[in-house]
Structure 1
Amino acid sequence: MERSMILYLSGPITGVDNYQEIFRTARGRLAAMGYKVINPAEMIGVLHEGASYEDFLDIDLALLAKADVLVQLPDWEGSRGANRELGFALGTDKIVVSLDSLLGGGDDHGPAGDL
């Protein structure tokens, strides 16, 4: 995969105490490999406390629209938001890949799964 592509991190946030560290670590590892990475977990501190779940998801999908690749973090399957992000990514012909595959193992999938 080209290092100039923009990656968007997708994974569980709700109910995960250390989600910020999980997202930050993934972003750091991918950035160290030369990728440009969007970390939606960083946006939570930007929105005011009265923001709804849908407000956050609207921003997440707008950020994902700017990306080329959806990167699925471990345990994404149980996340309602990550599943909606996957649907959006597939519906807009984005590449979908697991974090594990980018870091050296696992399978890629999606419209351009021949990474």
Structure 2
Amino acid sequence: MPKKIYLAGPMTGLPDFNKPAFIAKASELEQEGHIVLNPAVLPEGMKWEEYMYICIPMVSVADEIYMLKGWEESKGASIEHKEALAQGKSVVYEV
């Protein structure tokens, strides 16, 4: 059975919201047979809080969370990381 993996990382303030990094990692994980929960495919134009209302439940249904480089500097990714740990999720850190 494929693993459901949520991607977390910095977006706000980065060129193109760092979507190329999210999309590249999602593609790699999908090629490995995983189901990827990718916040970078959400529509643009909503408030930050609205994205978090969507993303935290995505973390909840994931088996694992994958932290992209620079996540430590991201308020949202830090919240997602904390939530994943609180739920006992496996966490993988990009090197």
Fold match, TM over 0.5?
yes
In structure 1, what is the equivalent of residue 88 of structure 2? 93
- Residue deviations 1:44-92, cap 9 Å, x none? x1x6x3x321111110101111101010001111000000001100111
Greater Rg by CA: 1
Q: What does residue range 4-83 of structure 1 map to in structure 2 within 5 Å?
A: 4-18=2-16, 19-43=18-42, 45=43, 49=45, 51-83=46-78
For structure 2, the 5+ residue unaligned runs are: none
Quote the RMSD (CA, aligned, Å).
1.4
What corresponds to 1:106 in structure 2?
A: none
Whose helix proportion is higher, 1 or 2? 2
Q: Secondary structure at the match of 1:25?
A: helix
> 1:99, CA displacement in angstroms?
3.3
Distance 1:73 1:40 in 2: 12
Q: Which runs of 5+ in 1 are unaligned?
A: 101-115
For 2:73, give the aligned amino acid.
G
